[in-house]
Amino acid sequence: MSDERLLSTFLDLVRIDSPSRQEAAVAHYVTDRLQAAGMEVRFDESMDLTGSDTGNLIATLPGTAPGTRLVLSAHMDCVEPCENVEPVVRDGEIFSAGETVLGGDDKAGVAAIIETVERLTEARLPHPDIRVVLTVSEETGLTGAKALDPAEVEGDLCLVLDADGQVGGIVIGAPTHYTFVATFHGKAAHAGVAPETGTSAIRMAALAVAEIPVGRLDERTTANIGTIAGGTATNVIAPLVRLTGECRSIDRDRVEEVRLAMDGAMRRAAEAEGGRVEIAWTKEYEGFCFEGDSPLVSLVADACSDIGIEPRRFTTGGGSDGNIFSAAGVPTLVLSCGMTSVHGTEECLAITDLNALPALLLRVVARAVS
C-alpha cells in the first residue's frame, strides 16, 4: 500500500505546475503532507533574493534516538516545458504524454522524502533528528540554495536526491565551476573604405577561442566556450564582441589553472590586436570530493546493499544544491533517483527506482541510529 501511495504522490506532484520561481503550489502540497506526518514546517525569507513566489521549505522532525543528524533535500522546481504535465504509466515506467518534461527532476526526490517521513512516523521507527530542506529555483543556477541560510542545513550528513541514473548511485565528487563574460573592445571603421583604421573585436575573440582548449581536458576537468555575439554590419569593423564560457574541475588547483589560462588567452588576444578586454569571472559553486571508503559514503553504500542494490560511487561534472551545502560545511552526498533523459520530453522514471528511494532512505536512517 505504501508503494501505491508513493506512486500516487509522485503523480500528484508532477501534475502541479512548478517552473522555476513558481513553486508555491508544490510547497503547499508538501506542507500539508509533512505536517500531517508530524513535522514542523516553515519557510525562509529568500523570496526577495530568488524572485520565487515562496521561500525555501524547511521542516524538522525531532529525533527519537541518538545518532547521525540527517538532512534530506530536493528541489521543487522543474525545467521548462513543465506546465500541464500529463504523466503516463506504461510497462513499469512513468513518462510524460510527450509535450513536456516529466518532472522527475526533482519530484522523484520530493515524493521519496514525503514517503520516507510518513513511513517513519506511521511505524514509529527510531530515528535521529531529521531536517528536510526543499529548495526553489535550483534549475536557474542553484538560486534557492545560494539564498538559504547555511544554518538551515546544519547536520552530520546531508543527502541531496537529485542525480540521474538508477538508485544506488552515490555522487562522491562534483566540480568547482567558474563562468565568465568577456567583452572585447575594438574600434569601428568602414570595412571597404578605411579598414586599416579599425580594430576588430571579432578577430580578438577568434584568436582567444583558437588558443583556449575546450572539451574534456582530463578525467576531472572540462572547459567550454558557450556563446559569442557582436558586430553591427557586414561592412563595419566590429567594435564590440561578447564571449561567454566556463571551466570546471573536481581538482581545486586544476580549475584555477584552467581559469587563469583562459583568462590569459583572452587578454593576450586583445593586446595583440591593439584592443582591450574586460573579463568578469563568477564562481558558480565550490566543488566537493569524498574518498570512496569514507564513513559517510560507506553508511549509504551499506544501506544500498541492505535493500539488494549494488552501490555505485562516481563523480560528476555537474553541480547541484549539494555543492552549496557542502561549501557551507555540511558533509553532503548526492544520490541517484532513477531519472533518465532529464530536461527533455523523453524523460522517464522506472517505478522500481521510485520505490527503491524511500526504502534506501529508511535504511540510511536505521544505520544512522545503530
Catalytic residues: 77, 138
Q: Which grid coordinates are listed for 133? A: 530542506
Q: Residue 188 in contact with residue 263, Cβ under 8 Å?
A: no
The 10 Å Cβ neighbour count of residue 93 is 17
Of 300, 238, 319, whose CA–CA distance to 275 is shortest? Answer: 238
Maximum C-alpha span of the chain: 84
Q: Which grid coordinates are listed for 160? A: 541531496
**DSSP codes of every residue in 57-116:** EEEEE--SS-S--EEEEEE--BPSS-SS--EEEETTEEEE-SSS---HHHHHHHHHHHHH
Spatial separation of the C-alpha atoms in residues 127 and 137, rounded to whole Å: 30
Enumerate residues 6+ apart whose C-beta is below 8 A from 166: 336, 338, 350, 353
196 secondary structure, DSSP code: G
Report the b/e string of 159-177 with b at 16+ CB within 10 A.
bbbbbbbbbbbbbbbbbbb
Cis status of the peptide bond prior to 106, with omega within 30 of 0 = yes
Long-range contact pairs involving 289-292 (C-beta distance under 8 Å, separation at least 24): 289/172, 289/173, 289/174, 289/250, 289/315, 290/172, 290/173, 290/331, 290/333, 291/172, 292/172
Enumerate residues 6+ apart whose C-beta is below 8 A from 159: 70, 71, 72, 73, 300, 332, 333, 334, 335, 361, 364
**DSSP codes of every residue in 318-340:** S--HHHHHHHTT--EEEEEEEEE
Q: Residue 103 in contact with residue 78, Cβ under 8 Å?
A: yes
